[in-house]
Amino acid sequence: MKKLLLLAALAGVGYVVYRQVTAKKAEQDLWSEATSEPDLR
């Protein structure tokens, strides 16, 4: 039972880290798009 709880806790921590990484990448992409030179073709 303790192993199952430990596995669930590790999965939860992994999910939180994954969400933070994807949110940071999305924010970086948005910031990069907002601060890039406009395409004036």
Q: Is residue 37 part of a domain?
A: no
> What pLDDT was estimated at residue 36?
87
The tens digit of pLDDT for each residue in 1-41 reads 999 999 999 999 999 999 999 999 999 999 998 898 887 77
4: containing domain:
1-28
> What pLDDT was estimated at residue 38?
80
**CA distances in angstroms from 34 to 21, 27, 37, 40, listed in the order given:** 20, 10, 8, 15
CA 14 from chain center: how many Å? Answer: 11
> What pLDDT was estimated at residue 17?
98
Q: Is residue 21 part of a domain?
A: yes
Q: Which helix (H) or strand (E) holds 24?
A: helix 2-35
**Radius of gyration from C-alpha coordinates of the chain:** 18
DSSP label at 37?
Answer: P
Q: Is residue 7 part of a domain?
A: yes
User: What is the C-alpha separation between 11 and 13, in angstroms, rounded?
Assistant: 5
Tally of domains within the chain: 1
Q: What tokens does 37 get?
A: 């030179």
Q: Is residue 22 part of a domain?
A: yes
Q: Is residue 40 part of a domain?
A: no
Q: Is residue 11 part of a domain?
A: yes
